[in-house]
Amino acid sequence: MTQSTNPHAISGLKSDALLAILREHFDADAVWSRRGMVMARGRPVHLDLQQIELLKRALADGGWSARSERAGQDWLLMIERRKDWRPPWLALTLFLATVVAVVFLRPLTLTGFSLEGFREVFFTELPFAYTLFPILLAHEFGHYFAARAHDYPASLPYFIPGFYPFGTFGAIIVARYPFRDRRVLFDIAVAGPLAGFLVSIPVLWYGLAHSEWVHLPESGGLYLGDPLLMKLLVTWALPAPPEAGMDILLHAAAFGGWAGLFVTMLNLLPFGPLDGGKTAYAMFPGRQKWIAWGFWGVLATSLLYSYFWMLWLCLTLVFRLPHPPTLNDEVPIGRRRALIGVAVLAVFVLSFMPFPFKM
């Protein structure tokens, strides 16, 4: 990011048309570029709200789009070339590809790409899809509608097709603008995990109610970690095991609910790009990086017992552990959001699994 506090820094803009519009309507104290956008901090020439709207209209006529945010006595402007960078057809195409991967390719993988075996497995594994997708959709559209509520431009969810064991790597929402303040950051960050978690509870209960106690073989098979929520729901959804030494053979719907909790857990890790990192920064802007590094160290020690976190820890270093600042970190989140933050921490505790997979 480049920034200047020179009142005449506006003269450094590359676009003469944008320069002329800003000089006419805006008295800028600072102008800087970030993520391909031009941002300016200052005051309208005539110090009224109508002047801000005139500035936006002038920018729109020149092919620019602008967003404004009050920052004390000043205004923050975020300006970029007007273009459609969120094509809905791409989101729809990726979603359909993910449906194909989860519903068809995943059971085909389970049978070793045997068409005959696929016919036997398809309907057995179908409940996995209709329990996983509601959780993922609730999570992503929780983010999307929270962004819309704040008039924050965000794309539709882009689902990522995958392979065994889930058939998908989840979904992402693309947001190019920096967050205006910590309240906006908090609301958008927590909406996804909370919505997905609320859907996970009845989905997981339904799946567990259709699971059964069995004597599992001593060798072979994939054993799943038990999040705390799953331990609690087992006592309500299943009767006590008839014999000692038995374990639960998960119904496909229960595995879908478990996968939803797994996604929630990963997203709530307190690392920069993730929902947990955003939430931690919104609540503790000066401490989020230390929280992230501390948790990273805890997970690194778990490599002594399992290599599951190896790839994830490497990816977090690539995408950076600290979260970048918002445009106005001085805005407090308030007591209500702080209480919601405690609820999000509880969701993380209920979903967390130190070792999700074990052969």
Q: What is the DSSP letter of 159?
A: E
- The neighbouring-strand residues paired with 65 are 80
* Rounded Cα distance, 173 and 161, in Å: 15
Cα-based distances in Å from 29 to 2, 71, 76, 77, 274: 14, 13, 10, 12, 33
Q: How far is CA 12 from CA 43, 58, 347, 356, in A?
A: 19, 20, 48, 52
Using DSSP's 3-state secondary structure scheme, residue 237 falls into helix
Task: From residue 296, give the alpha-carbon distance in Å to each of 60, 145, 203, 344, 353.
Answer: 45, 31, 31, 19, 15
Q: Say if residues 185 and 201 touch (Cβ distance below 8 Å).
A: no
Strand partners, 213: 248
Most confident range (mean pLDDT) of 46-60, 134-148, 150-164, 241-255 is 134-148
Q: H or E segment at 66? A: strand 64-71
Residue spans of alpha helices (H) in the chain: 16-25, 49-61, 88-100, 106-110, 115-149, 182-209, 228-237, 252-267, 275-283, 288-301, 310-318, 334-351
The band of 8, judged by pLDDT with boundaries at 50, 70 and 90, is very low
* Residue 11 scores a pLDDT above 70: no
Residue boundaries of the structural domains of the chain: 2-81, 88-358
pLDDT at 35: 66
Q: Is the pLDDT of residue 181 over 60?
A: yes
Q: Whole-prediction pTM value?
A: 0.79
| 307 and 358 Cβ atoms separated by less than 8 Å | no
CATH number for the domain running over 2-81: 3.90.1070
Identify which of 3-7, 184-188, 353-357 has the greatest average pLDDT. 184-188
Helix axes 275-283, 334-351, angle to 10 degrees: 140
Reduce the DSSP state of residue 167 to 3 states and report it.
coil
Question: Using one digit for the tens of pLDDT, what is the confidence trace for 143-179?
Answer: 999 998 887 778 899 999 988 889 999 999 887 667 8
The tokens of 88 are what? 């809905």
DSSP letters spanning 292-359: HHHHHHHHHHGGGT-STTHHHHHHHHHS-SSPPP-SBTTS--HHHHHHHHHHHHHHHHHH--SS-EE-
Query: What percentage of the chain exceeds 90 in pLDDT?
Result: 46
pLDDT above 80: residue 348: yes
Which two three-digit tokens encode residue 352? 């967390």
Closest CA to 291 of 274, 309, 314: 274
The reported pLDDT for the residue numbered 36 is 67
**Pair of tokens at residue 240:** 């006590």
